[in-house]
Amino acid sequence: MTTDLMQFAQTVRQVEILEAVILHGSNVKAAVAMGVQRRGVDGAINRIKAQAARQGHSPAHDMRHTVPDGYHVKGVSTLYGSDGKPSAQWVKSSIDADRQAEMQRAAIAAMCEEIPKVGKINPPVGTLGHLCNVYTLTDSHVGMLAWGKESGEDWDLSIAEATLVGCFQQMIDCSPKATTAFVNQLGDFLHYDGFESVTPTHRHVLDADSRFEKMVKTAIRVLRRVVAIALERHDRVVLLLAEGNHDPAGSVWLRALFHALYENEPRIHVIDSPLPYYAHQHGDTLLAFHHGHLKKNDNLPILFAAQFAKLWGNTTRRYAHTGHRHHSEEKEHSGMTVIQHPTLAARDAHAARGGWVANRQVTSITYSDKHGQVARTTVVPEMLDLN
């Protein structure tokens, strides 16, 4: 046993066991010295070796070329000479998704420790305490590229920013002056989730505008502007940055970023939940949210009744908001109305070639703490002067 394996130990216990094996010379002697079963030592050593092999280190198999942290070895081809010794070797690597996610979370935590916090913003006066406006932006696909000659309308980073901010401002201006604003970013805000413009799960190639870093900066700028508009108009703002199927990792760092950004602003609450089902109680009204990629609309009422039983029992009016399908639909179930929101984004090539057509619009819904839904404001992109 050599010390080469030490760099691949992942837990304190694995380090302790490996040190004991190195010190005593065998798994059996290490187990006796530590007062544990030998199979426990064997298992720990095998797990360390497996992790080492994933990164390209397995001397017994002539594998000595490791790959960087965040990657794993996809395959190794070795050419042996006439003397039976390796004369050339090809190491193929790919991204280790789990490790990449772990590294992202660590980077987010470090970034949020240093990020400048937004100070207290003076609240408006004369808001209506019994009302809550839900402003929904779903399937915005910031970073998507659409060509008008193919899809009917153009879409890129600059168009997305102008459209999302402009339509949100219109919703704010035309809605009642409620005390509470629920900024409902319902998922798929980012068109893709990393440096490769592909869907995270099935790796379908996507039409992307520009670079990942530019997409991230545009997305953050849009959301900061949206929140600032809401704080100017409402006394209290609840911000949801929901998980979507295009941006599961993006939703994680967006929540962490905005939670840190508004840490010193008491009038804003950022929902920080890793569960992709969200609920908010406004008096006797239950407001529930899910992007729509994991459960069909018909299954949402029973899911929310089970998942949020106390909130369900404490309310008499219940509404679930969902997106994902890019068109509007509304259905009343026993005890809950499910509202499926359309998108402001233009169709991409995939949707255009598939023949899927839907009206582009965004809607603010006003809820009373006693009577449920009492008003709506709908905005379409054509209402904006983007020329």
At 106 the pLDDT is 61
Q: How far is CA 210 from CA 127, 142, 158, 165, 234, in A?
A: 41, 11, 11, 20, 35
The arithmetic mean of pLDDT across residues 374-384, rounded, is: 96
pLDDT at 96: 58
Q: What is the mean pLDDT of the chain?
A: 88
pLDDT at 115 over 70: no
Task: Say what the pLDDT of residue 316 is.
Answer: 97
**pLDDT tens column, 137-174:** 999 999 999 999 999 999 999 999 999 999 999 999 99
248 or 102, which is more confident: 248
Q: Which long-range contacts (CB under 8 A, 24 or more apart) does 35-43 make?
A: 41/17
Q: What angle do CA 48, 54, 55 make, to 5 degrees?
A: 95
Q: CA separation (Å) from 68 to 9, 71, 73, 95, 129? A: 15, 6, 10, 10, 55
d(CA 153, CA 319): 32
* Per-residue confidence (pLDDT) for residue 310, from 0 to 100: 97
Q: How many CB atoms are closer than 10 A to CB 207?
A: 20
Residue 64 has pLDDT above 90, yes or no: no
Domains located in the chain, CATH noted:
1-54 (no CATH), 65-95 (no CATH), 97-383 (3.60.21.10)
Return the minimum-mean-pLDDT range out of 13-22, 35-44, 46-55, 332-341.
46-55
pLDDT for the residue 181: 98
Residue 75 has a pLDDT of: 62
- Given a cut of 80, is residue 263 above it in pLDDT? yes
Torsional sign, CA 350, 289, 249, 164: positive
**pLDDT(98) > 70:** no
pLDDT tens digits, residue range 293-351? 999 999 999 999 999 999 999 999 999 999 999 999 999 998 999 999 999 999 999 99
pLDDT band, very low/low/confident/very high, at 84 (cuts 50, 70, 90): confident
Q: What percent of the chain has pLDDT over 70?
A: 85
Tell me, what's the pLDDT at 76? 61
Q: List the single range of 6-15, 218-227, 242-251, 320-329 with lowest mean pLDDT.
A: 6-15
Question: At residue 78, does pLDDT exceed 90?
Answer: no
